[in-house]
Amino acid sequence: MGTALLVASFAFYGCLLLVPFSSFSSERMIALSTALVILGEGSFWLAVLILGRKAMAKYRDFNWRMRLFAWLKKIKEKIKSKSE
């Protein structure tokens, strides 16, 4: 349950990137943005409470930058091998 809430918090924040491209009025976009931020923060902190201190320390110590660069390098190599 806690992991699902953690993933959901990232999804809520990711959806914020789509708000400017929606066809809603300005007032609705502001309300939607506010709701997404509140849901993102709420689900993150609820996940922290459920998962506990050890899981959050493990999450904080994870080397995200290295993983991202390795993933991007793998994609770049796939594209390069397809073009050859």
DSSP state of 33: H
Per-residue DSSP letters for 38-59?
A: HHHHHHHHHHHHHHHHHHHHHH
**Rounded distance, CA 9 to CA 6, Å?**
5
- Predicted confidence at residue 31, as pLDDT, reads 96
Q: What is the pLDDT of residues 22-35, one digit of tens each?
A: 999 999 999 999 99
The residue ranges of every structural domain in the chain are 2-83
Rg of the chain on CA atoms, in Å: 17
Encode the chain (84 residues) as per-residue pLDDT tens digits: 888 998 999 999 999 999 999 999 999 999 999 999 999 999 999 998 998 878 778 777 778 788 888 888 988 888 888 776
- Predicted confidence at residue 35, as pLDDT, reads 97
